[in-house]
């Protein structure tokens, strides 16, 4: 089935939310919060389309190194001198997984981010750390982030790849 990543558009937001509701039922975020990220940094937001239907998305944005935005909160503005490219989320519907689409998006993100940012960072949830390790990210134990990570899930891990 033809499948490809493209830039996210404001009209995709309902489909993005529908994917988020399936993939992250425990991590509710308001539409406005996701819409704000798209407005602040459209080039960091992509959707995976299969036969014209959105089956996945990726949201990233410049951020401060070592910092993790709380879930369901507005960013308001991006840092003037970003220390990292922060991957807010990548989520594929179950039927779109394990076919290489996630890796393709991450490889392209690393290629873009590596030219503009000192690092790529994220919070790994759903036990996805091995996926990120395949892409060169490493778990970092940051005591100052423990409380925030616990608000994601008990096995959430802060991970970073330095370029
Ligand atoms: C994580 C995710 C984006 C990966 O995308 P994908 O297209 O399924 O991954 P790929 O096909 O490119 O790579 C698959 C490989 O990554 C690894 N992998 C993928 N998801 C994994 C997971 N949850 N745990 C451990 N390893 C995982 C496996 O090694 C797998 O290889 P295998 O199929 O040979 O075992 C996708 O599975 C997903 O959306 N998961 C649910 C949401 C999520 O956890 N997002 C990450 C938030 S930080």
Kindly state the DSSP code that residue 83 receives in the 8-state scheme.
S
Domain ranges of the chain: 3-65+73-162
Taking the centre of ligand 1 as the mean of its atom positions, its distance from the CA of residue 131, in whole angstroms, is 5
Angle of CA points 156, 116, 155, to nearest 5°:
5
What is the CA(77)–ligand 1 centre distance, in A? Answer: 30
Cα of 127 to ligand 1 centre, how many Å? 9
* Topology classification of domain 3-65+73-162: Aminopeptidase (3.40.630)
- Report the pLDDT value the prediction gives residue 153, as an integer from 0 to 100: 87
Q: What is the mean pLDDT of each run of 10 residues along the chain (163 residues)?
A: 92 97 91 97 98 97 96 96 97 97 98 98 96 98 93 93 98
- pTM (predicted TM-score): 0.96
pLDDT of residue 2: 83
The pLDDT, as a whole number, for residue 26 is 83
The pLDDT score that the predictor gives to residue 1 is: 61
Supply the angle between the helices 31-40 and 13-23 in degrees, to the nearest 10.
120
d(CA 21, CA 84) in angstroms, rounded, equals 27
Instruction: For the beta carbon of residue 76, count every other beta carbon within 10 angstroms.
Output: 7
């Amino acid at each position: 089935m033809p499948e490809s990543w493209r830039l996210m558009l404001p009209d995709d937001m309902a489909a993005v939310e529908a994917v988020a509701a399936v993939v992250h039922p425990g991590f509710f975020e308001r539409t406005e919060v996701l819409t704000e990220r798209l407005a602040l940094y459209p080039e960091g937001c992509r959707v995976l389309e299969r036969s014209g239907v959105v089956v996945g998305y990726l949201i990233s944005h410049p951020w401060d190194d070592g910092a993790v935005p709380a879930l369901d909160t507005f960013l308001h503005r991006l840092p003037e001198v970003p220390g990292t490219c922060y991957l807010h989320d990548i989520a594929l519907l179950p039927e779109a997984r394990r076919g290489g689409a996630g890796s393709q998006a991450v490889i392209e993100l690393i290629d873009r981010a590596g030219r503009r940012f000192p690092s790529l960072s994220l919070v790994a949830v759903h036990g996805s750390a091995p996926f990120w390790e395949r892409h060169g990210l490493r778990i970092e134990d940051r005591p100052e982030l423990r409380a925030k990570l616990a608000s994601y899930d008990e096995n959430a891990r802060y991970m970073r790849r330095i370029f």
